[in-house]
Amino acid sequence: MSETDAIWHDVECGAYAADLALWDELARAGDRGVLELGCGTGRVALHLARRGHHVWGVDRDPALTAELERRAEAEGMPVHVVTADIRELDLAARFSLVVAPMQVLQMLGGEEERRRALERCAAHLMPDGLAVAAIVEGAEAETDVDWRDLLPDVREVDAWIYSSQPLEARGDGAAIEIHRLRQTVSPAGRLEERRHTDRLDLLDAETLEAEAVAAGLRPAGRRIIEATDAHVGSTVVLLSREGS
C-alpha cells in the first residue's frame, strides 16, 4: 500500500454522491450507530458523521484509513476508524446499521468470501438493525455505460494532476473486470501512465439474499440507486438479523 492509494481512491470514488441520500435515510431510521464496510477515505463515513451519526469505518488498506483518520480529526468528526479485513471483523460494538456501499461485497473474490463478510455483518448488528449492500446486478456494468463517452476523473494534489480514464468492462462468466488508464502529470509536466483493473464478482440480489440467509440474515427489501452520467446504477439489498 502507498500514500497514492488514497489519492486514486478519491479520484475514482470521491465525487460519487448518488447513494448518500439513501444512507442518510437509513441512518436516521436506526440512529444507534453506523458501521461502514470498505470506508476508504471517508466519502460516506464523514458525510454521516457531519449529520450527527456515530460512525465506525473499516477498511483493510492502511493508507486509506490513515487518511480518513486525518480528515476526521481535521473536521472534529467522531469517526472511529479501524484497519481490518471485513471478513475477519470482531469489534466490541453493535450497530443499528451496517453499510457496504459501492459494490464492496463484489470485490471480495467469490461466494465463500462474501459468506464470511455476511456472517461478520450479522455478528455486529443489533437485534432490530439492518445490513445494506449496494451491488451491480449481473452484467449491467458492461451494458449500461457507453465507455467511449465517459470523461476522465481528474484531481489536483500539491500541483500534481491525477487522471483516471474508464476504458471498458469485460466479463468472463464469473466476474466483470473494469479497466482504467491512470495518468499522473508532475509539476514539471512529466507524464506517467499505467493501467488499473478492478474485478467485481457477478452477483444479483436474489443470490445475495440466499447467501445472507445462510449467514444468519434475512431479506428485508430492496432499493434502487439510479445511474448517473458517470456511474452505473445499483441495487441495494436490505438484510436484517435472524431472530430480530
210 and 195 in a single domain? The answer is: no
Residue type, 137: E
Give the pLDDT score at 132: 98
Domain range for 145: 140-200
CB-side exposure of 46: number of CA atoms within 13 Å? 17
Is 60 exceeded by the pLDDT of residue 161?
yes
114 and 41 in a single domain? The answer is: yes
The Cα-based distances of 78 to 16, 43, 142 in angstroms read 22, 14, 39
Give the three-state DSSP class for 152: coil
Quick: pLDDT tens for 34-48. Answer: 999 999 999 999 999
* Mean pLDDT of all residues in 131-151: 72
169 and 86 in a single domain? The answer is: no
* Mean pLDDT of all residues in 99-103: 96
What is the grid cell recorded at 115?
Answer: 459468506
Task: Provide long-range contacts, Cβ within 8 A and 24+ apart, for 85-88.
Answer: 85/60, 86/37, 86/38, 86/58, 86/60, 86/117, 86/120, 87/113, 87/116, 87/117, 87/120, 88/116, 88/120
Of 183, 200, 217, the residue at which a domain comes to its end is 200
Give the pLDDT score at 199: 93
Which of 168, 222, 214, 219 has its CA nearest to residue 195? Answer: 168
Lowest mean pLDDT among 20-24, 208-212, 230-234: 230-234
The mean predicted confidence, pLDDT, of the chain is 91
pTM: 0.91
213 and 99 in a single domain? The answer is: yes
Q: How far apart are CA 91 and CA 121, in angstroms?
A: 11
Q: Could you list the beta-strand ranges (E) of the chain.
A: 34-37, 55-59, 79-83, 95-100, 125-135, 153-157, 160-171, 175-185, 191-201, 217-225, 234-241
Give the three-state DSSP class for 93: coil
* Mean pLDDT of all residues in 79-106: 96
Answer yes or no: are the C-beta atoms of 97 and 35 closer than 8 Å.
yes
Give the pLDDT score at 145: 57
41 and 73 in a single domain? The answer is: yes
Domain containing residue 84: CATH number: 3.40.50.150
9 and 128 in a single domain? The answer is: yes
108 and 173 in a single domain? The answer is: no
Is 70 exceeded by the pLDDT of residue 197?
yes
Which of 75, 61, 56 has its CA nearest to residue 4? Answer: 61
Give the pLDDT score at 148: 61
189 and 209 in a single domain? The answer is: no
Give the pLDDT score at 232: 79
What is the grid cell recorded at 126?
Answer: 443489533
Quick: pLDDT tens for 68-89. Answer: 999 999 999 999 999 999 999 9
Q: How many structural domains does the chain have?
A: 2
21 and 57 in a single domain? The answer is: yes
Quickly state the pLDDT bin for 169 (edges 50, 70, 90). Answer: confident
Residues in the chain: 244
Give the pLDDT score at 1: 46
Domain containing residue 195: CATH number: 2.20.25.110
111-142 residues labelled b (16+ CB within 10 A) or e (exposed) = eebbbbbbbbbbebbbeebbbbbbbbbbebbb
